[in-house]
């Protein structure tokens, strides 16, 4: 493996406007409580992009139940500040993932930028209004899409409403973890078309850059996510037009990942057959480990005990279960009552590793070949 990597091209830095990220690897935002400042800082310290998930990020604050919004905004700012401080000068970047489906979306965007986040990455819906919330920001605004159509729609809308283009685009395919932007019956065909979709999004990007009609042509880097696990996966995505990749599942089983150790162990213990598609109250399918909680949700509704109104479209009186409670339970290690989101590759983890070990493997740095270590 190391010998193979040493023969490959060095990964090139990713330029998003004036933001240069030394290694073109994003660690995707993982809520609730899976990617906080610990993981994001470790990734940025290796030169990648560490993404903090804003989803219910204040769940450990003492006033979370009664003061949810304030607790979330306080914890969000603290996590961004900490991650920036811990990774300063390493050539990486810190971003915040904010789902369009959350209530108080605008407040989360503004708080992230006030705290100094380099990027806002936003999916689970189309972030049509994002540039209007922070019109003068230098932070990079990056939508997540699941199709070329969605990419085209965002590009056209942002141009028309705000005379601007996305700074980059993340394309997330159906092998991803957490909520998926596909109907269950679309998953197989979407995976079949994964690489073609990368090329189609590139075409939409090309059309958008032309339509922008600016004297200086902007680039829109494309970051590809969903099932990317090895250097071979990265190279293949790049051969089809990706400028960078986003990986999440791979980073869960690291020492630095912020989630409870039992959550990480569940990945290590899972077999391929344990990874399933679940229904989520968000209204999209999700991918998770089929633990006792998931099996209980399949038998009937688990009425929420309380509600802090986290999602715009959730109806507490009909929701199949409370997604916030289920994800918080998992984050703190109550797996009996927790939803363990994961990507399709979670079964491949066989031990706890470190972020640096993963970066060394993926970039080929410190790769040893017969006769000693080799520059790549």
Site string for ligand FMN, 314-353 (x = CB under 6 A): ---------------------------xxx-x--------
Q: How far apart are CA 67 and CA 28, in angstroms?
A: 27
Report the nearest approach of ligand FMN to the CB of residue 286 (Å). 9
CB-CB contact of 345 with 274 (8 Å): no
Report the nearest approach of ligand FMN to the CB of residue 247 (Å). 4
Q: Which residues contact 60 (CB under 8 A, 6 or more apart)?
A: 33, 75
Nearer Cβ to ligand FMN, position 66 or 273? 273
Query: Which of 168, 228, 289, 367: binder of ligand FMN (CB under 6 A)?
Result: 228
Q: Considering only residues 244 through 263, tell me which ones interact with ligand FMN, judged by CB under 6 A.
A: 246-250
245 three-state secondary structure: strand
Report the nearest approach of ligand FMN to the CB of residue 166 (Å). 15
Q: Which residues contact 194 (CB under 8 A, 6 or more apart)?
A: 173, 174, 175, 226, 227
Stretch that binds ligand FMN, among 111-119, 225-233, 290-298, 351-359 (CB under 6 A): 225-233
The reply to whether 95 sits near ligand FMN by the rule CB under 6 A is no
Report the nearest approach of ligand FMN to the CB of residue 345 (Å). 5
Q: How far apart are CA 309 and CA 288, in angstroms?
A: 23
The reply to whether 34 sits near ligand FMN by the rule CB under 6 A is yes
Nearer Cβ to ligand FMN, position 297 or 369? 297
Q: How far apart are CA 140 and CA 157, in angstroms?
A: 17
Provide DSSP, 319-355.
Answer: -SS-HHHHHHHHHTT-GGG---B--TTGGG--S-B-H
The reply to whether 286 sits near ligand FMN by the rule CB under 6 A is no
Report the nearest approach of ligand FMN to the CB of residue 54 (Å). 8
Residues, the chain: 376
Report the nearest approach of ligand FMN to the CB of residue 8 (Å). 20
Provide DSSP, 81-130.
Answer: HHHHHHHTTSS-EEEEE--TTBTTHHHHHHHHHHTT-SEEEE-SS--TTH
Q: How far apart are CA 138 and CA 175, in angstroms?
A: 32
The reply to whether 28 sits near ligand FMN by the rule CB under 6 A is yes
Nearer Cβ to ligand FMN, position 14 or 30? 30
Nearer Cβ to ligand FMN, position 241 or 343? 343
Contact residues toward ligand FMN (CB under 6 A) are 28-31, 34, 53, 55, 97, 99, 123-124, 144, 172, 175-178, 225-228, 246-250, 341-343, 345
């Amino acid at each position: 493996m190391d010998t193979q990597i040493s023969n490959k091209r060095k990964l090139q830095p990713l330029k998003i406007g004036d933001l240069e990220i030394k290694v073109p690897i994003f660690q995707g935002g993982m809520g609730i409580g899976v990617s906080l400042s610990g993981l994001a800082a470790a990734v940025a310290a290796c030169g990648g992009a560490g993404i903090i998930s804003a989803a219910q990020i204040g769940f450990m604050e003492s006033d979370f139940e009664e003061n949810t919004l304030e607790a979330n905004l306080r914890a969000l700012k603290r996590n961004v500040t900490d991650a920036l401080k811990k990774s300063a000068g390493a050539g990486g970047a810190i971003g915040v993932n904010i789902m369009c489906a959350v209530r108080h979306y605008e407040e989360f965007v503004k708080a992230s930028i006030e705290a100094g986040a380099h990027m806002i990455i936003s999916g689970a819906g189309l972030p049509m209004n994002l540039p209007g919330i922070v019109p003068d920001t230098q932070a990079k605004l990056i939508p997540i899409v699941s199709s070329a159509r969605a990419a085209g729609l965002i590009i056209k809308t942002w141009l028309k409403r705000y005379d601007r283009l996305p700074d980059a685009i993340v394309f997330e395919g159906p092998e991803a973890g957490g909520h998926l932007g596909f109907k269950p019956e679309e998953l197989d065909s979407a995976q079949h078309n994964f690489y073609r979709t990368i090329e189609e999004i590139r075409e939409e990007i090309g059309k958008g850059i032309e339509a922008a009609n600016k004297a200086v042509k902007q680039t829109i880097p494309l970051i590809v996510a969903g099932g990317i696990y090895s250097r071979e996966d990265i190279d293949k995505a790049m051969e089809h037009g990706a400028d960078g990749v986003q990986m999440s599942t791979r980073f869960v089983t690291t020492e630095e990942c912020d989630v409870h150790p039992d959550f990480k162990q569940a990945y290590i213990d899972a077999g391929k057959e344990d990874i399933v598609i679940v229904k989520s109250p968000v209204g999209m399918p999700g991918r998770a480990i089929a633990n006792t909680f998931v099996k209980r949700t399949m038998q009937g509704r688990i009425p929420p005990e309380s509600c802090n109104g986290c999602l715009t479209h959730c109806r507490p009186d009909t929701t199949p279960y409370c997604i916030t409670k289920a994800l918080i339970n998992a984050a703190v290690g109550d797996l009996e009552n927790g939803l363990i989101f994961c990507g399709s590759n979670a079964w491949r983890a066989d031990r706890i590793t470190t972020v640096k070990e993963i970066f060394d493997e993926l970039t080929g740095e410190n790769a040893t070949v017969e006769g000693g270590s080799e520059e790549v």
